[in-house]
């Protein structure tokens, strides 16, 4: 995928990131719907009121596995912490804490790389660019 398209994808992923809770909820739902089963894991935090009302709760952590790269995003009291891991067969070879912007750029690049060889990932990229 050309560098310009990766930049457009990163911009599309960055869109609406002003409200972090809403952003992470929408991003996790879109990624879970778009990527192959098992590629996205979402951990939710549910208050008692949310449990009683039958709501899912807010996203506490988002874990996206694309190839040998695993991208983790954690939400804690309105703050976000990102981490990029390089994993092979479940063994973490490296891990690096990153900010939200760098995490989004890494996600865009990983999605673009996956789109080159996977039709479902290509559909996900096209959905984000639309």
What's the pTM value of the predicted model, to 2 decimals? 0.76
Share of the chain above pLDDT 70, in %: 77
Give 38: exposed, middle or buried? Use CB within 10 Å, 0-12, 13-18, 19+: exposed
> How many whole angstroms separate alpha carbon 71 and alpha carbon 85?
6
Tell me the pLDDT band of 8, cut-offs 50, 70 and 90.
low
Instruction: Evaluate if residue 15 carries a pLDDT over 70.
Output: no
Instruction: Evaluate if residue 111 carries a pLDDT over 60.
Output: yes
Share of the chain above pLDDT 90, in %: 22
Q: Are strands 79-88 and 40-45 parallel, antiparallel or unpaired?
A: unpaired
Instruction: Evaluate if residue 128 carries a pLDDT over 70.
Output: no
């Amino acid at each position: 995928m050309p560098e310009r398209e990766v930049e457009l994808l990163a911009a599309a992923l960055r869109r609406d990131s002003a409200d972090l809770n809403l952003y992470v909820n929408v991003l996790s739902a879109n990624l879970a719907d778009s990527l192959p089963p098992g590629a996205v894991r979402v951990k939710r935090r549910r208050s008692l009121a949310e449990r009683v009302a039958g709501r899912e709760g807010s996203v506490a952590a988002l874990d996206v596995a694309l190839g040998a790269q695993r991208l983790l995003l954690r939400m804690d009291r309105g703050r976000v912490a990102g981490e990029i891991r390089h994993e092979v067969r479940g063994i973490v070879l490296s891990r690096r804490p990153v900010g939200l912007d760098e995490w989004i750029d890494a996600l865009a690049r990983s999605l673009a790389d996956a789109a080159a060889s996977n039709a479902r990932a290509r559909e996900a990229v096209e959905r984000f660019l639309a």
